[in-house]
Structure formats: structure tokens, C-alpha cells
Structure 1
């Protein structure tokens, strides 16, 4: 994961966990009838907005990073096909190197007039 996306993800996790803690405190304060219930409910609503924004920030940051730096490729059918073609070309090049410039022993024998066929 790129650094910018990782940073945004850490921010989102912190904001989300803080929101969950505030919501739990607001619930428990409401159950016990504490004076802290109303301020905690208000701060929980505000934290929910912030946490949602932080999660959207992760998504947007990831999209921007992919657009600027290219997608970290997952092999697709196109990539496999290109790899196959590259392997075939390398195999043909190795075979050509192995046979030499004259094209192999039979071609050399034909060129020398020593071939039976």
C-alpha cells in the first residue's frame, strides 16, 4: 500500500475507533441518566461525519494514487498473453542461437554437398 494511502487509512481507523468509543460512552451515559449523555451524543454525530469523511478520503486518495502512478498490476489475461508471446520470442531466439547462423547441421551439410538427402 502506498504511503499516502496508508496515512489516510490510519487516519480513518483512528477516527472510526474514536467514533465508536464516543458512541459507546453516549449510550452508557444515556442509560445511566448522566448529564454527559447529551454532549456525547452531539460529539458522536460530529465524529460520525468526520469518520465518514476519513473513509472517503482513503478511497479518493487510493484512486488519485492509482491514476498518477499506475495501478499495481494484477496479472490479467492481457498480461498473460504478452508474457506468453515474450516467452515464445525468447525460446525462438535461443533456438536460433543454438542452431547457429547456418541454421543447423543439416543445412551445413547441404551447403558442403555432403548431405544424403
Structure 2
């Protein structure tokens, strides 16, 4: 479902409780100020609630991630959870696929490398 940035802001801030609600009251636009954009709200929340050290730890976790005992689907889910912490490492579909392949078990990786499964979606299917 598509919705406007303005509606995303309204929906997100409606869910705020306690401390987050108090914080929102101090940062939301007043009177004649332009409405806050979804991108700006995301940035503000990121700064407020996601410390840089935690983000760096998640980036390191993504960069060192290996399939290990996970199924391919479990590995793909975890990969997708962590990918947002290192967007520069997977800026293209090819980079994303290369990083995904590098973390796979050797037996599974050998079945994929050399095939024409050059998109992430094709690989996990």
C-alpha cells in the first residue's frame, strides 16, 4: 500500500508512547512551520534512539555474517535485517549478491557460483 510522506508521519507519531511522545512534542513543527517530512522524522528518530556505536556493531555483524547452521531462507532473512546498516557495501544488485554468496556454506555456494542466478531474489528461491 502506498501512502504519502505526510500520512507516514501521522501514522508513526500516532504510535508514540511515553518518552517518545514527550520527545515528539518538543520536535514537531508548530504553527506556520512546514510539516516534517518522513525522511526528516526518520533522521531525527535515528539520532535520538539509535546510538552510533550500536549502528557500527550492526554493520560489523553484517560484514562478518556467515550462513553457518541457518537454512538459506533463515540466512536471507537475517541478511535482509542487517543490510540497511551497510548500504555502501551493497550499492548494486551485483554487490549484494556477491556479499550474500560470500557468507554461504561452501556446498551451497558452489551450487550457485557459476550459475546465472545473479539476483538476490533468484538465489534465495
Pairwise same-fold verdict (TM > 0.5): no
Which is greater in Rg?
1
TM-score, structure 1 normalization: 0.25
Q: Whose RCO is larger (CA < 8 A, sep 6+)?
A: 1
TM-score, structure 2 normalization: 0.24
